Amino acid sequence: MESDEPWQTLAACNEISDAFEYGSNTAEFESQLPIHQDGSCNGLQHYAALGRDNEGGHQVNLTKSELPNDVYSDVAQRVEQKRIEDENNNGGEDCEIARRLRQSLPQNVPRKVIKQTVMTTVYGVTMYGAVLQIKRQLRAMDIGNDESAEFARYLARKTFASLNDAFTSSMALKDWFRLCAKGTSELMRTVEWITPLGLPVIQPYLKAVDRKGKLVLMPIPMKQVDAFPPNFVHSLDSTHMMLTSLNCARNGITFAAVHDCFWTHANSVDEMNRICRQQFVALHSQPIVTQCSDWFKSTYLTPKVAKILPPELLSKYQDMFTAKVEPGELDIEQVKKSVYFFS
């Protein structure tokens, strides 16, 4: 028998065997096997919730559905549709490469080709990084080095465009987070924030700079900007994990977690799932984006700073720290009825 996780499969088989050997009343067998529940592309789940992206939220299972939705397949289909449009656009700049790509691929744009890029988008993958990820997948399909590099650049562009189509508000929020980090760096400050749990966070990306014979620690702008969106989302998923853990403990439920992977025993899976969804909704029912905007203004544009800055610069940073992203129409309460939110 083949299995992606052979040791877990063996443990499950042993547990089932023990249950059958328990006797006629197997319902009284006390299972000690941890049952795994996993978030559905959890980073994008938090982004979709922040931006209230209805279409994107549906793809990452924030809404009720009879069958699980797969964001990777959805994005692959969107990329393929863009490729078809380019192929049919005679004389268009991408027409030729779209046709050659169709001839080189054994099928429509495969899910596996764009999966890693979609997964790492919320964690700050750059266009350069996405090209390398996609190129590795194309090379594994025996597409030549030069051609795979050209195809990868094309597919990376189309993948980012497809994500923006489905997660419009979410991707706009990611850009705004980057803009905020750019503003703090220009003000010679590191990015700081407080999570919904009250945990203060400081990005420690600094370098020593000689200022009049003294070494001064200054923020590294590029690292501050690139790191803030993924770090902020990680602070939200860790908050959700802690809230789930605390409420499981209050209800006498054994709980374990690694990032967005939660475990409990078989008899408490339903209750853990209820708590998990309840706490996600409670977290994202808070005005997190507005609170973030207010935090940046009050922390970095203090009355003292406002007196020093020229009026045009003060206005510039006030504008940078103001979230102007129009939220979508996702009803966050739907998470409570979504079977495949964590599954």
Supply the residues annotated as catalytic. 38, 115, 260
Between CA 233 and CA 123 the distance in angstroms is 8
Residue 200: φ, ψ to 5° = -75, 140
H or E element that contains 259: none
In whole angstroms, what is the distance from residue 95 CA to residue 77 CA? Answer: 18
Question: Rounded to whole angstroms, how far apart are CA atoms 168 and 327?
Answer: 9
How far apart, in whole angstroms, are the C-alpha atoms of residue 154 and residue 144?
15
Contact status, residue 66 vs residue 55, Cβ threshold 8 Å: no
> How many other β-carbons are positioned within 10 Å of the β-carbon of residue 131?
22
- 192 in helix, strand or coil? strand
- N- to C-terminal Cα separation, the chain: 24
Crossing angle of helices 42-51 and 221-250, rounded to 10°: 100
CA distance 193 to 114: 32
What is the spatial distance between Cα 56 and Cα 142, in angstroms, rounded to a whole number? 33
Quick one: the chain helix, strand, coil %, rounded to 5? 60, 10, 30
Q: How is residue 169 written in tokens?
A: 């508000």
The first and second tokens of residue 217, run together, are 């620690």
52: left (phi over 0), alpha (psi -120 to 50) or beta: left
